[in-house]
Amino acid sequence: MFITPTGEEVFVIDGHTHFWDGSPANQLNIHGKQFIDCFYAYHTSLSPKDKLWPKDQFEKYSAEQMYQDLFVDGPDDMAVVQSTYLTEFYKNGFNTIDRNAEMAKQYKDRFIVNGAFDPRDGERALEYIHYMKETFGIKGVKLYTAEWKGESRGWKLTDPNAYRCFELCQKLGITNIHVHKGPTIIPLDKDAFDVHDVDHAATDFQGLNFIIEHCGLPRLDDFCWIAVQETNVYGGLAVALPFIHGRPRYFAEVISELLFWVGEDKILFGSDYAIWTPRWLVEKFWNFELPEDLKQEHGVDLTPQAKKKILGLNAARLYGVDVEAQKRKLAGQVRATAAE
């Protein structure tokens, strides 16, 4: 729970977190090393100095650490933990649903565990979606369209096999499709994180919500054009939000664009834990005000009401969380744990 300086309670759902193992022991090859190194560079370059982790802790952290950072030291009430496999780079996968679910089991009512699938697996992908639904009751998935697989260096949401997966997701009520469309991490000659395929898929699957993590940055304009015409497209703030620290004016421009085109009902907070921890992000976000000239220019404002939606209420709607009931469930939990 985040308590504002005036004593108001704000319910926070962290829409984008990870419980990964990027340690050398789990790295399969140089790519695995470079992948976590790149994440660490994100962490280093966009965090306040006093929030920096040592490299070995960043590579692999414990479930207890995660709980502490998000819910005890951090203001999160709930967190969506995403799955990203990267089995070409990591022996046991980078961030699998089994590992996530195991961790989540220890902390009642805190985590929403999302799965992942790879449409290039064909029939096996469909079986896997069934398995995840039956075993973990998932409501969402994280898709990583640039993931390597044998000869393939990526896939598109519009691939026929992806459409078969979406049809199944829609049928099973796995409605929240988080898609990484952000800065280039595993790029090729043609960028696998280009946002254009979202347009087609979102139009064709009206029963699904497409949450575009990192808002398509650096293709914010493309993302905005798509989001403005598709009612089921949302923007996740991970990676955009940390600019609030080093370059607040720049963050103001990005959030103004998002408020203007996408609207406050369709933007989701995400810390991208463990790249960033949520406390400082939420605090800075709550205290942030749009500069007057940008308010005038765009005709938008980042009001307390908008902030509340972005920090939790929008995600609660997507995941069917009854905020008041959830608050009652969680009341006293942190204290109980801290006292142990």
Partner 1 sequence: MDAVLVHQDRKTSEVWKRLALVTDPELDESVTDLGFIEFVSVDSDDGVDIIFRLPTYWCSANFAFLMADGMRRAVLSLPWVRQVRPRLRDHMVAEEINRGVSEGKSFGDALKDFASGGSLDEVREKFRRKAFERRQEVMILALRGVGYEDGAICRMDLGTYDLIDFGSKEVARQKPRYRELLVERRLAVRPGDRAFVTYEGHPIKRHEFASYMQRLRGVRINMEFNSSLCRGLLAARYGELDGGVAERLPVNAAPCGGCASGCAVRSGGSPATTEKHSAALA
Q: Which neighbouring-strand residues pair with 210? A: 177, 233
- Comparing CA positions, the residue from 215, 214, 314, 297 lying closest to residue 256 is 297
243 contacts partner 1 (rule: CB under 8 A): yes
Please pick, from the candidates 3, 57, 106, 188, the single residue that binds partner 1 as defined by CB under 8 A: 188
What SS3 class is residue 243?
helix
Q: Is 128 left (phi over 0), alpha (psi -120 to 50) or beta?
A: alpha
DSSP string of 52-107, one letter each residue: PPPHHHHHB--HHHHHIIIIISS--SEEEEP-B--TTTBTT-SB-HHHHHHHHHTS
Q: Is the dihedral of CA 320, 126, 235, 57 positive or negative?
A: positive
Residue 168 CA to residue 123 CA, distance in Å, equals 12
245 to 83, 287, 300: CA distances (angstroms): 27, 12, 21
Tell the smallest beta-carbon distance from residue 294 to partner 1 (Å).
10
When the beta carbons of 71 and 261 are compared against partner 1, the nearer one is 261
Residue choice 54, 190, 293, 324 for contact with partner 1 (CB under 8 A): 190
State the number of CA atoms in the 13 A half-sphere of 89 facing the CB. 22
Using the rule CB under 8 A, give the single segment among 86-94, 230-238, 251-259, 314-322 that binds partner 1. 251-259
Nearest C-alpha neighbor of 115 from the set 88, 144, 89: 144
56 binds partner 1 (CB under 8 A): no
CA–CA distance, 35 with 48 (Å, rounded to integer): 22
Q: How far apart are the first and last CA of the chain?
A: 20
Report the residue from 2, 11, 40, 285 that binds partner 1 according to the rule CB under 8 A.
Answer: 40
The span of 33-41, 84-92, 227-235, 304-312 binding partner 1 (CB under 8 A) equals 33-41
Task: Give the one residue of 170, 187, 283, 301 binding partner 1; rule: CB under 8 A.
Answer: 187
Decide: is 36 part of the binding site for partner 1 (CB under 8 A).
no
Choice from 44, 65, 158, 333 touching partner 1 (CB under 8 A): 44
The least distance separating partner 1 from the CB of residue 220, rounded to whole angstroms, comes to 6
Q: Identify the residue among 1, 4, 42, 131 touching partner 1 (CB under 8 A).
A: 42
- Token readout for 129 is 């979606």
Q: Does 90 bind partner 1 (CB under 8 A)?
A: no
4 scored as a contact of partner 1 (CB under 8 A)? no
Contact between 45 and partner 1 per CB under 8 A: yes
Q: Which stretch binds partner 1 (CB under 8 A): 12-20, 238-246, 267-275, 330-338?
A: 238-246
Q: Is 38 in the site for partner 1 (CB under 8 A)?
A: yes
> Where does this chain touch partner 1 (CB under 8 A) — which range of 29-37, 94-102, 103-111, 199-207?
29-37
**Contact pick of 224, 275, 302, 315 for partner 1 (by CB under 8 A):** 224
Residues 6 or more apart whose CB falls under 8 angstroms from that of 177 comprise 140, 141, 143, 166, 169, 208, 209, 210, 211
Segment 121 to 180, residues that bind partner 1, using CB under 8 A: 153
Min dist CB 225 to partner 1, Å, is: 9
CA distance 282 to 14: 10
Nearer to partner 1, 153 or 329 (CB): 153
Query: Count of residues binding partner 1 (CB under 8 A)?
Result: 36
Query: In terms of CB distance, is 190 or 335 closer to partner 1?
Result: 190
Token couple for 315: 């995600």
The binding site for partner 1 (CB under 8 A) comprises 31, 34-35, 37-38, 40-42, 44-46, 153, 183-191, 217-221, 224, 240, 243, 246-247, 249-250, 253-254, 257
